[in-house]
Amino acid sequence: MNLSRRTLLKTGWFVCACLFVLLLSLTGAFKDYESYLYDLRLSWRPQLKTADEAVIIEVSDDTLKNLGVWPLPRDFHATLVDVFRQLGARAVVFDILFSEPTLYDTEFSSAIKESGRVYLPVAFYIDQKKTDRKLVPETSLMVADVVGTLAAGACGIGHINVFLDADGKVRQVPLFVKYQGRLVPQLGFLAACGSLGLDVRRVVFAQDRVVIDGKMSVPVAGLNSFLVNYPAKWQDSFRHFSYFEVLKSFSRQKEGQKPDLDLSFFRGKTCFIGLTAAGTSDFRPVPLENNYPLVGLQASVFSGLLTRQFITPAGDLPNALVALLIFAAGLMVCQRLNPLKALLGSVILGAAYFIAAVALFIFFGIWVDLFLPLAIVLAVYLVSTVSRFFEETKKRGLLEKELEIAHTIQQSFLPQGEVLFDRLDISFLIQPAKFVAGDLFDFVNIDDHRCGVLIGDVSGKGVPASLIMAQIISLFRIFSSRIPDAAGVLQAINKELVGRISARFVTCTYLIVDTAAKKVSAASAGHAPLLLYGGRTGAVTEVGAGAGLPLGIDEGVSYENAVFDFGESDKVVIFTDGLTEARNVRREEFGIEKVKEVVAAHAREKSSDVAAAMMEALDRFTLHCPQHDDITLIVLGR
């Protein structure tokens, strides 16, 4: 694949991934998870200061116990409205539906008219699924209207509909509902506009906000839904008073007795009246708790507007752009860093965004998506890691194929099968630490009675060492046919290597076995001593072959020949240091003494049996610990 095609392919994958991220963001695929994280941020946020004007009057358990069963007779409501009028309350907001006429509607209607500051609720049937694409939810079905005589004197009529999320929680309400061609405002919102002196009929809708009377801009999401900024849990937010206690305290004050409540507190207040008695139906789960009286929702909407403490949704497009930026940043981190650093970078990126999103919410009331960006960071890391794993596996496979080829080529340099020479019993093996070895050995027939045996070890392992190994074998085959003694061959090879194998060296031992003279002439270039088993004495001795420097270090170095007898039942064992330096789990080396013990125990057997016994002993010692160096072993017998 050429460069341009590879670049186009990567670009195509990147574009497809970006489009997928946009699709996830714009379709709200993780809306439920985003809602959960929204609730967490709301609970982590410090308690908000509520509008001093907002007060809640509870139709609680004590009220129902003292005044009778629910619904309360409307003459009580008339009395309460009159009480608040006399106490100088700014407004009274009923979160109680009055859709059916009753016996005391005349008294209640008169109290509402005389007050002139009473807001009453209505409720509609809204199908959220069918109104998703509209700017304002529309309906032709009213669930509960207000009795005409009551509505005539009300200061305003507002709806109490809410939007339920998939988990059943109330997080938002529609600011307006379109019913029979007219806009009906939300009840708490209507009361807030009345308190601020805003004309709720003068409204301009935009995609992300609603402008009231040209003076106040309210942030909204789709369907002009307003996020309710609950200031705290029910018991910790607004001032609460019992419906019954207010009536009782006012009655005691009229009779000249000291009231239980300081009734002067209600001057200038907007009083929200709603049902909070246990076991009643006017409760819903909200982000802060699972059992919240909805009269508190009306007060929260009212308070949020008066204090300008809004929750502003970032919107679909900004959230989508943020998701794309997080995707690009995560991709950059994972592509440019190794897996461990990429993991750390992804954690830092995710943590930084998490902190930023929480800070924006707590300090500025801005709600940005949190789950999707964090999921993107995780997904990018996982996909990049898996992709890198498969890519590395593919590269490793190609490398292993190349190494197998290199191994095959290297094997072609080394003797294969049996080596037969004038009654010599020769056994050899090589066990690379990797695919290819830096160890080397070779056999050459000098004449009818003389055989040359070379063993060596290139410093290092793997492919670089194997290339030097091939070079040395080539040089050996050239010089061993021209130079009659072992030391001369090593000296000639050394001159060729100096300056060519920078920062490396080669240890070697070269033996010339003379079967007619029953002698061995040996020269060593810094290699391990060879072992000689004496058939007559049964002793295994180390035979030094000079102390020359390894090959490739100093061009002027000279090597010496060492000559010793090689009788009918004798054995010569030569090896590389991979054998003696093999370690077990306790980091102990196999050592030269164990090699001698194996040779002594099996020297009267065939050379192949000696070699096999040596490797068995090594396996028992190392207990299959990883092999760290190449191992080569040659056993010569008569």
- In this predicted structure, what is the pLDDT of residue 403? 63
Q: Is 255 helix (H, G, I), strand (E, B) or coil?
A: coil
Q: Which backbone phi and psi does 267 adopt, to 5 degrees?
A: -65, 125
Confidence at 27, pLDDT banded by 50, 70, 90: confident
pLDDT (tens digit, 9 = 90+) per residue, 190-213?
Answer: 999 999 999 999 999 887 899 999
Phi, psi values for residue 155, rounded to 5°: -70, -30
pLDDT of residue 85: 96
DSSP alpha helix (H) spans, 292-338: 294-307, 316-336
Name the β-bridge partners of 218: 210
For the beta carbon of residue 411, count every other beta carbon within 10 angstroms: 13
Scanning 308-446, the segments in alpha helix (DSSP H) are 316-336, 339-364, 371-413
Asked whether residue 467 carries a pLDDT value surpassing 90, the answer given is: no
By three-state DSSP, how is residue 61 classified?
helix
Whether residue 523 is predicted with pLDDT greater than 80 in this model: the reply is: yes
H or E element in which residue 241 lies: strand 239-242
Residue 475 has pLDDT above 60, yes or no: yes
Task: State the first-to-last Cα distance of the chain, in angstroms, to the nearest integer.
Answer: 60
Confidence grade of residue 395 (pLDDT, cut at 50, 70, 90): confident
Q: Output the six-digit token pair for 196.
A: 């601020």
pLDDT for residue 309 is more than 60: yes
Residue-level pLDDT at 63: 93
Q: What angle do CA 127, 131, 132 make, to 5 degrees?
A: 120
> Dihedrals φ, ψ of 145, to 5°?
-95, 180
Whether 208 and 315 have beta carbons less than 8 Å apart is answered as: yes
* pLDDT at 628 (0 to 100): 84
pLDDT digit string, tens, across residues 258-291: 999 999 999 999 999 999 998 788 899 999 999 9
Residue 400: CB partners within 8 Å, gap ≥ 6?
A: 435
CA dist 354 and 192 (Å) reads 34
Q: What is the pLDDT of residue 135?
A: 75
DSSP assigned state of 308: T
pLDDT-based confidence at residue 28 (cuts at 50, 70, 90): confident
Distance CA 41, CA 622 (A): 59
From CA 499, how far away is CA 70, in angstroms rounded? 106
**Phi/psi at 313 (nearest 5 deg)?**
-65, 135
Is a pLDDT exceeding 80 seen at residue 238?
yes
474 in helix, strand or coil? helix
- pLDDT at residue 624 is higher than 80: no
Average pLDDT over residues 298-310: 96
> Please, are residues 552 and 494 in contact by the beta-carbon 8 Å criterion?
yes
Measure the CA–CA gap between 560 and 551, rounded to whole angstroms. 14
- Would you place residue 19 in the very low, low, confident or very high pLDDT band (cuts 50, 70, 90)? very high
Q: Does position 235 have pLDDT exceeding 60, yes or no?
A: yes
User: What is the mean pLDDT of the segment spanning 286-301?
Assistant: 96
**At 1, is the pLDDT very low, low, confident or very high (cuts 50, 70, 90)?**
very low
271 CB-near residues (< 8 Å, 6+ apart)? 55, 56, 57, 84, 89, 91, 92, 93
- Which H or E element spans position 139? strand 138-139
* Rounded percentage of the chain residues whose pLDDT exceeds 70: 96
Judged against a pLDDT cut of 60, whether residue 184 lies above it is answered with: yes
Structure confidence at residue 451 (pLDDT)? 93
Tokens of 239: 């001032």
Q: Please tell me the distance from the alpha carbon of residue 587 to that of residue 70, in angstroms, as a whole number.
A: 86
pLDDT at 234: 94
Q: Give Cα separations from 554 to 136, 495, 497 (angstroms).
A: 92, 8, 9
* CB distance 99 to 149 below 8 Å: no
DSSP 528: P
Could you tell me the pTM of the whole model? Answer: 0.70
Q: How many CA atoms lie within 13 A of 516 on its CB side?
A: 6
Query: Cis before residue 71, ω within 30 degrees of 0?
Result: yes
Give alpha helix (H) positions in 549-630.
Answer: 577-580, 591-602, 607-622
Contact (Cβ atoms closer than 8 angstroms) between residue 283 and residue 294 = yes
pLDDT at 413: 66
From CA 475, how far away is CA 501, in angstroms rounded? 14
Q: What is the pLDDT of residue 131?
A: 61
DSSP H/E element including 118: strand 118-124
DSSP β-ladder status, 170-174 and 163-164 = antiparallel
- Does position 2 have pLDDT exceeding 60, yes or no? no
Does pLDDT of 441 surpass 60?
Answer: yes
> Is residue 243's pLDDT more than 90?
yes
Beta bridge partners of 589: 583
The pLDDT of 384-393, averaged and rounded, is 85
323 neighbors 25 (Cβ within 8 angstroms)? yes
Region of poorest pLDDT, from 97-106, 363-372, 459-468, 513-522: 459-468
Q: Which residue has the tokens 């860093």?
A: 337
What span, in angstroms and rounded, lies between the C-alpha atoms of 342 and 595? 48
* Number of residues written out for the chain: 638
Whether residue 390 is predicted with pLDDT greater than 80 in this model: the reply is yes
Looking at residue 15, its amino acid is V
Select from 294, 297, 36 the least CA-distant residue to 167.
36
Q: Is the pLDDT of residue 133 over 60?
A: no
Q: Give the single-character DSSP code of 421.
A: B
Of all residues in the chain, what percent carry a pLDDT higher than 90?
Answer: 68
List phi, psi (to 5°) of 484: -80, -20
pLDDT of residue 321: 95
Task: Spell out the alpha helix ranges (H) of 154-186.
Answer: none
Q: Which residues contact 263 (CB under 8 A, 6 or more apart)?
A: 87, 246, 249, 250, 253
Task: Identify which of 244, 418, 330, 246 has the alpha carbon closest to the alpha carbon of residue 18.
Answer: 330
Mean pLDDT of the residues in the chain: 90
